[in-house]
Amino acid sequence: MSIFKKKSDLYLSDRQPLTFLGKVSLGLVYFVLISWSVIVIWPLYQMVVSAFNGRQQQYLIMNDAFEFSLRHFDYLFNNTLYLSWVKNTIFIASSTAILTLIMVSFTGFAYSRYRFKGRKASLMAIMLIQTIPAFAGITAYFTMHSVISSVFPYLTRQMMLILIYAGTGIAGNTFILKGYIDSISTELDDAARIDGCSDIKVYRLIIMPIARPMLAIIALWSFIGPFMDFLMPRVLLTTPSSYTLAAGLFTLINDFRTLNQPAFAAGGLLTAVPIVALFIILQKQLVSGLAKGAVKG
């Protein structure tokens, strides 16, 4: 015990004490971190309090006395189309995430492991596509839906929204996944081919298990997008029953006939539940993906 104590004392004595400038810098760092925490936590706190405060009426009153109540949630479920908005959003978000994952897993693997004509040009095109915001093509999306729906009448506006989200997400996520797969040694591919694996087996048994952490992140990003986006659903979806959560909840604060700001706070609080649940589910994949793929290689 005395040996460890002496080593500890020696280590502590070797540390140089902070200078006046170092103390000021450390104080500034703590000040910035605490200020940023307050900026992030304070609106969330107000949202939670307002959602459960029975004294709130149509408008949010920050200094109103608190009385615990679930009346705003009751209004949300019984007097609005909230359940339809949730169903629509989960359907669009899940479909977008699945479609994006399927396409990105193939395109990322192809761009990383194969050399073909037009590869560099298409990668540059992918980078340029990311500089164009999705809402810049709203007029074109309307025209495309009108033309396509005349040929395929079963293509609804929600399906069109899924294709838009997936199409815009595939480009950027392909570039990200390609960079991740580039870091995986090609010796694993060669060893698998020597053992008789085809390219599709290399993709399925070697690359994808190792790339699972990045695929989990891409799935989470793709799933969150429809929850957070307001402009595209508000413009493309024409009936309140087809709205997503962002567009539907906005009707509780922009229309005097349906104005209910506390119910809007309650809906915003519940919106986080599916996202947090998916994050908890994918958290295990983020930890276990690397080891599993390396063992299979």
Q: Please name the residues in contact with 113: beta carbons below 8 A apart, sequence gap of 6 or more.
A: 181, 186, 189, 207
The angle that helices 245-254 and 82-113 make with each other, rounded to 10 degrees, is 140
β partners of residue 53: 68
B/e letters for 239-274, b = 16+ CB within 10 Å, e = fewer, are eeebbbbbbbbebbeeeeeeebbbbbbbbbbbbeeb
Q: Which two tokens stand for residue 271?
A: 């919106």
β partners of residue 68: 53
Single out the residue of 240, 235, 228, 231 nearest to residue 84, CA to CA. Answer: 240
- 264-265-269-274 Cα dihedral, nearest 10 degrees: 10
Q: Report the 10 Å Cβ neighbour count for 109.
A: 22
Q: Looking at this protein, which amino acid is placed at residue 233? A: P
Q: Which two tokens stand for residue 150?
A: 């005349």
Would you state the pLDDT for residue 27? 92
Q: What is the DSSP letter of 15?
A: S
Single out the residue of 93, 65, 115, 126 nearest to residue 220, CA to CA. Answer: 93
What's the CA gap between 14 and 26, in Å, rounded?
Answer: 20
What end-to-end distance do the CA atoms of the chain give, in Å? Answer: 45
Residue 294, helix vs strand vs coil: helix
Would you state the pLDDT for residue 20? 81
Would you state the pLDDT for residue 295? 46
Would you state the pLDDT for residue 287? 65
Would you state the pLDDT for residue 119? 82
Would you state the pLDDT for residue 14? 59
Residue pLDDT tens, the chain, 297 long: 444 444 445 444 556 777 888 888 889 999 999 999 999 999 888 888 888 988 888 787 776 678 888 988 999 999 899 999 999 999 999 999 999 999 999 988 888 888 888 888 888 887 777 777 766 777 777 777 778 877 777 788 888 889 888 888 888 888 888 888 888 888 888 888 888 888 888 888 888 888 888 888 898 889 998 998 888 888 888 888 899 999 999 988 887 777 888 889 899 889 888 888 888 888 777 665 444 444 444
Angle at 132 between CA 128 and CA 137, to 5 degrees: 135
Global pTM value:
0.80
Q: Which two tokens stand for residue 210?
A: 């190792």
What's the CA gap between 195 and 213, in Å, rounded?
Answer: 26
Positive or negative, the Cα torsion across 294, 116, 222, 153? negative
Positive or negative, the Cα torsion across 152, 154, 156, 159? negative
